[in-house]
Amino acid sequence: MNVKKSRSGFGTRAVHEGRGFAGTTGAVMPPVFLTSTFRRGNPDGFDYTRSGNPNFRLLEQSAASLEGARFATCFASGVSAITAVVSSLKSGDLVLAEENIYGCTYRLFDKVFAKFGLRVHYSDLSRSENWELIRRLRPTLVWLESPTNPLLKILDIAGISAAAAKARVPVLVDNTFASPYLQRPLEFGATLSLESTTKYINGHSDCLGGIVATNDQEWQQRMIFSQKALGLQPSPFDAWLTTRGQRTLALRMERHSANALELARWLEARKGVRNVRYPFLTSHPQYRLARRQMKAGSGIILAELDCSAKAALAFCRRLQFFTLAESLGGVESLICHPPSMTHASVPPEVRRRVGIGDGLLRFSVGIEDIEDLRQDVDAALKSTLRGARD
């Protein structure tokens, strides 16, 4: 990495890293290398796109810079990135995981890798007394999310990583909800930082992708092997789109966070809203930790309406600027009903135990004008409450 660039600010690195392979054209943006194979013996060392492509290399260089990492490996999706990590474990290995994790991660553990002998122990790792499990169970890997999906729990990455280091256990943090602009897990002692680049890093809801960043040479070799051996690589065009989207990450995250904080404060005072959770609300149970660990609160709000699942979905469908859809982190606002969408694969009893109720909603707040978003939510909420009374 260029020394001058490595010392630059985040926004400058986001704009200037990930450029190259323009040859003598003078092109400001790199081309898309839509090729499956390469002439043998070329100076840049490429041979077959499944095992490397110029667009992958540019994305990985820029992602590593923003994560504060020595290495980064790109994948076809966030789930592909998860698969790359978990597939590097062995039959009989134990993963100690935060009990509230992404539904697809739970499904991979429970429905796919369990068949090959992987064991997973779930615990509430927001409680420091449970960190003793790291010493007692000696897991092969500790799996965290912070903020968690969908409950927005904030985990003490530095504290858990320090406890794991004493037991010589690596720690992975799924950093998708924060992005490297707001939080860099490796700086808190984590071994691996995983992102679904589909979300905030790309930011435009037009491609899938994933990244695993690390400072550990051995883990990096595992990721390279997984990318090639399992065919988990993205398309060159998706890698190009992600690199392009990443350039505006700092600006977008500031607007997402500002909009979400204002909307969360407003929602807290609304009738019919049972509770609201947002990392930078003083009512959040880990508010002080969030302020210490994150630059801002990101764009996700969790709100539980005082209604049934049917009424909660009716509320979602009444919204004009929040589209009822999976995913998050795009410039447009989205609304999700986790019990019937992202966490439908989680057994109902598990959902209830960790706090995913029927009226739970996840707002992915976009970069639109906040007053338009607030009026939209207000109108849908009033209509839903009237319908519940009728």
199 is catalytic: yes
48 is catalytic: no
Scan for tokens 């592909």, then name that residue.
Answer: 80
Distances from the Cα of 147 to the Cα of 59, 126, 279, angstroms? 24, 11, 8
Catalytic residue among 13, 102, 252, 358: 102
Catalytic residue among 13, 57, 184, 199: 199
Catalytic residue among 13, 122, 174, 247: 174
372 is catalytic: no
50 is catalytic: yes
Question: For the stretch 288-297, what's the b/e string if a residue is b when 16 or more beta carbons lie within 10 angstroms of its beta carbon?
Answer: ebbbebbbbb
Residue 1: how many other CB atoms lie within 10 Å:
12
Mapped onto helix, strand or coil, the DSSP state of residue 194 is: strand
> What does the alpha-carbon distance between residue 73 and residue 192 come to, in Å, rounded to a whole number?
11
DSSP per-residue string spanning 269-325: TSTTEEEEE-TTSTTSTTHHHHHHH-SS--SEEEEEESS-HHHHHHHHHH-SSEEE-
- Cβ-based neighbours of 88, under 8 Å, separated by 6 or more: 222, 223, 225, 226
Amino acid at 303: A
Catalytic residues: 50, 102, 174, 199
